[in-house]
Chains A and B, each alone.
Chain A
Amino acid sequence: MSWLENLKIAAVALWANWLRSVLTMLGLIIGVGSVVLIVAIGVGTQKFVKDQFRSFGTNVVVVSEDRPPDGLTQNTDRRIKPLTVEDMEALRTQIGAISRASGILSENGRVVWNNKDADGRIYGMEPELARILNWSIRKGRFFTDQEVQQRARVAVLGEEIADELFGAEQPVGKQILVNGRTMTVIGVLEKRSGAFRGYLQFLERGAIMPFTVVEESLIANVTPFGRRVRIIFLETKPGETIEAVTFQVTNLLRARHQITAEDDFFVGNAQEILNVFNAIAAGLTVMLGLIAAIALLVGGINIMNIMLVSVTERTREIGLRKALGASEGVILAQFVIEAVLISVLGGLIGLGLGWGTAALVGALSPIKPEVTPMAVFLAVGVATGIGLFFGVFPARRAARLDPIVALRTE
């Protein structure tokens, strides 16, 4: 008896009771569907994060102050020194592996246009940073390196503060007062949405100006140690390892800040952040995958249960087949094939469902889930395996039925 004929018999049997067949598959459909979806979202999330960091560059080391947020009482044991423009200069000139350094200055500011004023924050930086951090401009343009050198009095406004001051009017080209100094608005930043909005939200009320311009006007942020920098970006020279540079930066700053115990700064790099994120994502995927595996197991047991019921119900049919000459092997094969067919069908439906849901998630969120060939292979493979494993027991029971007892059953 050929496989094809067995398959046909199985298909006829499943079709004859299609509602039950679907119910039999249900557990497996859900199990396979969720595995596919979870893996797809896991892969999609990792890609998304990687994309977010791509423009950031993995050759960039970030230094920031490590202090409790404003308003929290400071730990008096820790004497925290601010990061300063001088720190930045020292890092750039004293560590050979660093090709360039760039920082963000910031202070509170009052922005005035046409008798309207708004509170905001003033940031000074170089245009390179806007590129590194992947900011985009809604209107106008960002300032250039030349304008930084020339101390050009230009400003790029965050969207919120621009809307507040200008309303429906076109801000680009207008003269504004920033802490009393006249600046020309040359651009408005695009408001970020999605996962990384929070991390750039501070820009929404910002006036961004050339580093040199902010540097000369800093009043509030001049500390006993020098002019304060919010954050420093260091670019490493090609061929230098990020770990080595991170180590040197840490050592130099410890020396400069006379650290004896805990650091008052934080040194990080994109690769590190990416690694941490990947580890978290992988852990989550494994955990959710385990839950899904339990769902698969339950799906398999469900198949076994219903196959057992089906064997009992079809006792007479089995007896008849045996009377007509079907050997135990043939009956075993018939029921195993039935179980495998139902599992593979369930697996495929689950795959389709998982895939569809993944596509829906992709359409509605910035994360684009990705159904990999591996996931497809796994889903169908696991489903087939479950069918085989959980189908054998009921099939053996069918094969062992005593034909006499089976034929006497009503």
Chain B
Amino acid sequence: MLIRLENIRKSYKLGNNEVPVLRGIDLDIDSGEYVAIMGPSGSGKSTLMNIIGCLDRPTSGNYYLNGNNVATLDRKALAQIRNREIGFVFQQFNLMARSDALENVMLPALYAGTPAKERKVRATELLERVGLAAQIQQRPNQLSGGQQQRVAIARALMNRPSILLADEPTGALDTRTGEEVLALFEELNAEGITVLVITHDQEVGNRARRLVRLRDGLLETETSQVMSAQ
């Protein structure tokens, strides 16, 4: 089991009140799966993704990643996991405004200590792979939304992670470019990367092989989907 969540709870302090956001999540994800997590806005999707992505810790419950209890890891080890095991894709792309596409893609490898030459070769390959061979030296403000999200995906793939975590990756894109991004995810998943997409768009959810619904901090029914797209 790649990801195992056991009774994960998360609450935030709001003044004197503890506001529960996640109220006992159990979820297992196998290596190579393509899972969509759906739910209305404010239902705790991002919170869940941040926990899975080791950006945040649950208030209680156990999270095993590759069989390791994440709670036992220190901040440095968590940073390393984010760097090597997980690739993040955000709704707002989150690119470095002052860096060009190539530098953005290379950034995770910089933190991994990859030699400069290797970094550059791999980042160039990835940008070609996502169809941006011509935009390598362009800055985010010179790129369209779809192009920016593809740079972000290339960046997420830089250190060959086993998990791709995408939080509303099509939320800021029009239908056609969103479609391109989803096609890319399917391709990557076919190559063996575990993909976890968070969305409140049913269309996007339907593209995943497995759909999980989040409501009021709990997982609802789980639908196993036959490949509707194929």
Identity of the chain A residue whose Cβ is nearest the Cβ of B113 in the assembled complex:
A1
Chain A residues with Cβ below 8 Å from B9 are none
Q: Is the CB of A326 within 8 A of B53?
A: no
Q: Is the CB of B111 within 8 A of A323?
A: no
* Docked CA distance A16–B116 (Å): 23
Q: Is the CB of B98 within 8 A of A12?
A: yes
* Docked CA distance A352–B132 (Å): 46
Chain B residues with Cβ below 8 Å from A324 are 82-83, 88, 107-108, 111, 155
* Docked CA distance A407–B93 (Å): 12
Q: Is the CB of A322 within 8 A of B50?
A: no
Chain B 64-103 against A: per-residue CB contact (8 Å), 1 yes, 0 no? 0000000000011001101110001010001010110000
Chain A 199-229 against B: per-residue CB contact (8 Å), 1 yes, 0 no? 0000000000000000000000000000000
Report the count of interface residues on A (CB-CB < 8 A).
21
* Docked CA distance A328–B94 (Å): 20
Q: Is the CB of B80 within 8 A of A327?
A: yes
* Docked CA distance A57–B181 (Å): 90
Q: Is the CB of B111 within 8 A of A327?
A: yes
Partner of B76, one of A317, A320, A329: A329
Partner of B96, one of A320, A322, A330: A320
Q: Is the CB of A322 within 8 A of B82?
A: yes
Chain A 376-410 against B: per-residue CB contact (8 Å), 1 yes, 0 no? 00000000000000000000000000011001000
Q: With an 8 A cutoff between CB atoms, is B55 at the interface? A: yes
Partner of A323, one of B82, B96, B113: B82
* Docked CA distance A268–B79 (Å): 75
Q: Is the CB of A325 within 8 A of B55?
A: no
Q: Is the CB of B98 within 8 A of A1?
A: no
Q: Is the CB of A325 within 8 A of B98?
A: no
Q: With an 8 A cutoff between CB atoms, is B56 at the interface? A: yes
Chain B residues with Cβ below 8 Å from A320 are 94, 96
**A410 CB to closest chain B CB, in angstroms?**
9
Q: With an 8 A cutoff between CB atoms, is B170 at the interface? A: no
Chain A 1-33 against B: per-residue CB contact (8 Å), 1 yes, 0 no? 100010000001100100000000000000000
Q: With an 8 A cutoff between CB atoms, is B147 at the interface? A: no
**B148 CB to closest chain A CB, in angstroms?**
14
Chain B residues with Cβ below 8 Å from A1 are 110-111, 113
Chain B residues with Cβ below 8 Å from A316 are 94
Q: With an 8 A cutoff between CB atoms, is B112 at the interface? A: yes
Identity of the chain B residue whose Cβ is nearest the Cβ of A406 in the assembled complex:
B55
Q: Is the CB of B76 within 8 A of A325?
A: no
**A403 CB to closest chain B CB, in angstroms?**
5
Partner of B84, one of A323, A325, A327: A325
* Docked CA distance A316–B50 (Å): 15
Q: With an 8 A cutoff between CB atoms, is B199 at the interface? A: no
**A51 CB to closest chain B CB, in angstroms?**
55
> Which residues between 40 and 63 of chain B lie within 8 Å of chain A, taking CB atoms?
50, 53, 55-56
Identity of the chain B residue whose Cβ is nearest the Cβ of A328 in the assembled complex:
B75
* Docked CA distance A99–B99 (Å): 81
* Docked CA distance A222–B106 (Å): 98
* Docked CA distance A317–B116 (Å): 22
Q: Is the CB of A404 within 8 A of B79?
A: no
Q: With an 8 A cutoff between CB atoms, is B159 at the interface? A: yes
Chain A residues with Cβ below 8 Å from B99 are 12
**A319 CB to closest chain B CB, in angstroms?**
9
Q: Is the CB of A325 within 8 A of B83?
A: yes
* Docked CA distance A328–B78 (Å): 11
Chain A residues with Cβ below 8 Å from B111 are 1, 321, 324-327, 330
Chain A 324-353 against B: per-residue CB contact (8 Å), 1 yes, 0 no? 111111100000000000000000000000
**A398 CB to closest chain B CB, in angstroms?**
14
- Contacts known (A1-B113, A407-B55); A325 close to B96, Cβ less than 8 A: no
* Docked CA distance A295–B129 (Å): 55
Identity of the chain A residue whose Cβ is nearest the Cβ of B156 in the assembled complex:
A324
Chain A residues with Cβ below 8 Å from B116 are 5
Chain A residues with Cβ below 8 Å from B83 are 324-326
Q: Is the CB of A325 within 8 A of B56?
A: no
* Docked CA distance A324–B165 (Å): 12
Q: Is the CB of A5 within 8 A of B82?
A: no
Identity of the chain B residue whose Cβ is nearest the Cβ of A329 in the assembled complex:
B76
Identity of the chain B residue whose Cβ is nearest the Cβ of A402 in the assembled complex:
B56
Q: Is the CB of B108 within 8 A of A325?
A: yes
Chain B residues with Cβ below 8 Å from A5 are 110, 116
- Contacts known (A1-B110, A324-B111, A404-B50); A16 close to B82, Cβ less than 8 A: no
12 contacts between A and B (CB under 8 A): A316-B94, A322-B82, A324-B108, A325-B112, A327-B80, A327-B111, A329-B76, A330-B111, A403-B55, A403-B56, A404-B50, A404-B56
Q: What are the nearest 4 A-B pairs in CB distance?
A: A325-B83, A327-B79, A325-B111, A324-B108
Beyond the given pairs A323-B82, A327-B80, A329-B76, 17 more chain A to chain B contacts, judged by CB atoms under 8 angstroms and listed by A's residue number, are A1-B111, A5-B110, A12-B99, A13-B98, A317-B96, A322-B82, A323-B55, A323-B94, A324-B83, A324-B108, A324-B111, A324-B155, A325-B80, A325-B83, A325-B159, A327-B76, A328-B76
